[in-house]
Amino acid sequence: MSWIELKNIKKTYSGAPAVRELNLKIEDKQFVTLLGPSGCGKTTTLRIIAGLEEPDSGEVIVDGKIFFSREKGIFVPPEKRRLGLIFQSYALWPHMTVRKNISLALEQMHLSKEEIDNIVHEVLEKVQLSEYIDRYPSELSGGQQQRVAVARMIAAKPSIFLMDEPLSNLDAMLRVDMRAELKKLHHDSGATTVYVTHDQVEALTLSDKIAVMNNGVLKQIGTPEEIYKRPEDLFVARFVGSPRINSIEGSLAKKDGRFFFEREEIRTALSEIDDSDMSRLEKLSEGKLIATIRPEDIGVSKTAKPGWLEVVVTSVLPAGSETILTVITKGNVELSLKMNGFTDIKRNDRIWINIDPGKTNYYNEKTGKLILSYFK
């Protein structure tokens, strides 16, 4: 059992808040990613869990044991928390060989020489670096250093792994491979993992749960699917997904007993809604609202179709497996679309698109909060 709970964590650096009122619960054996733009407080949060940073107030609880609480006068130092942490820079000790890097902490644990040796070989085998045991960190490639950092961490058998952008120093190809390895590592060890990244693809592929942060505030925590399909606010909607989600400002309308979202010639039906829902929605949206739809959820046709919207293509960006189009409607709304593979559509072509009401979320324009979602 290794669950982590952060209660009302606050941390300021000389007056500037880095984390405000953070509440977060991470369950046993879960892989949780802290995702957010640069400077949003991810690293700070991770360091608070590790004990390297002391919050101004709040509690850090692991397995029901309080690690930090100013109010209760409790502080368990990082030395005693028995957590594993991988730094962005790996923080390998440059004057020690790989073997020594791994064994230094083990020597602290009153193990016999053979036991230590066995563990060192075992973890190096796990990360496939056995033949590099006597090298110094500077004699290893970035990816190998990263794996030594992993080996060093798992050698001490912590039940919680903390990782701060461990892949950000690697090139794109290697990053994809290492992602798979980290996922396997988590699977094999069953350690609860908190993983910091600003790369949403990494977050989506690796996590059981994603916690999206902005400006020191936890915006939403949920499974990757929830985060992707049902972002609780516009920040999350816009931060996750590439290209960026389409957002269309508009208002509610009622025609012939049916309800619509309207913006110039764009009109999407709101299904399964009656009058009472409508008045609730009107209240929630305070008049104006924003509809969002992912680029891949917009239908594309080269020929006119009934009810589809005519648009002009303003750019075509092929990327191999997919092509990103940007288009502009007659009412000057700009949208991005995603098509599979390559396409013969060119700039300035006329095409027809379909904004699927079954893939659209609606937000309050002022607060940015979700008011109606297609994904339950």
Partner 1 sequence: MADTPLARSAAFTKLKFQLTRLRYRTDIILSIIFVIVFGFLVLVPLIKIIIVSLTYQSFDMRVIRDMKKLGTFTLYHYKRIFASDFSYAILVKPFINSLLVGFGVTAMAMLLGSLLAWAIVRTDLPWKNFFDSIIVIPYMMPSWVIALAWLIIFKNNRVAGEDGMLKILFGITPPDWFSYGLFPIIICLGLHYYSYSYLLISGALKTVNSELEEAGAIAGLKKWAVLRKITFPIVLPALGSSFVLTFTRSMGTFGTPALLGLPVRFFNIPTQIYASISMRNMGDAYVLALILVVLAGIAIYINSKIVGVRKSFVTMAGKGFKNRMNSLGSWRYPVAIIILLFLFVAFLLPLLLLVWNTFLLLPGDYSISNLTTHFWIGDSDYRIASGEPGIFKNPGIWNGVWNSIRLGVLAALINGFLGLFIGYAVVRNRGTRLSKSLEAISFAPYVFPSIAMGAIYLGMFAKPLGPIPALYGTFSLLVLIVVVKNIPFSSRSGISAMLQIDKSLEESARLQGLPWFKRFRKILFPLTKSGFLSGMILTFITAMRELSLIILLVTPTTRVLTTIIFAYEDQEEVQHANGVTLILITIIIIANFIVRKFFGNKSLMGLKES
Ligand X SMILES: Nc1ncnc2c1ncn2[C@@H]1O[C@H](COP(=O)(O)OP(=O)(O)OP(=O)(O)O)[C@@H](O)[C@H]1O
Q: Does 15 bind partner 1 (CB under 8 A)?
A: no
Q: Mind spelling out the 3-state secondary structure of 251-313?
A: EEEEECCEEEEEECCEEEEECCCCHHHHHHHHHHHCCEEEEEECHHHEEEECCCCCCCEEEEE
Looking at residue 132, the DSSP 8-state letter turns out to be G
Neighbours of 320 (CB within 10 A): 7
Q: Does 52 bind partner 1 (CB under 8 A)?
A: yes
Phi, psi of 112, rounded to the nearest 5 degrees: -75, 165
Q: Does 38 bind ligand X (CB under 6 A)?
A: yes
Q: Which residue has the tokens 């739809």?
A: 293
Helix (H, G, I), strand (E, B) or coil at 56: coil
Q: Give yes or no for a contact between 280 and 274, defined as CB atoms under 8 angstroms apart.
A: no
Residue 275's binding partner among Mg ion, partner 1, ligand X, none (Cβ under 5 to 8 angstroms by kind) is none
- Which range binds partner 1 by CB under 8 A, 17-25, 83-91, 170-178, 290-298? 83-91
Interface size with Mg ion, residues (CB under 5 A): 1
Q: Does 74 bind partner 1 (CB under 8 A)?
A: yes
Biggest CA–CA distance in the chain, Å, is 82
Choose which of 31, 35, 42, 326 interacts with ligand X (CB under 6 A): 42
Choose which of 2, 24, 33, 41 interacts with ligand X (CB under 6 A): 41
Choose which of 1, 12, 65, 93 interacts with partner 1 (CB under 8 A): 93
∠231-206-32 over CA atoms, to 5°? 65
Nearer to ligand X, 58 or 295 (CB): 58
Binding mask 11-50 for Mg ion (x = CB under 5 A): --------------------------------x-------
Enumerate binding residues for ligand X (CB under 6 A). 13, 18, 36, 38-44, 198
Enumerate binding residues for Mg ion (CB under 5 A). 43
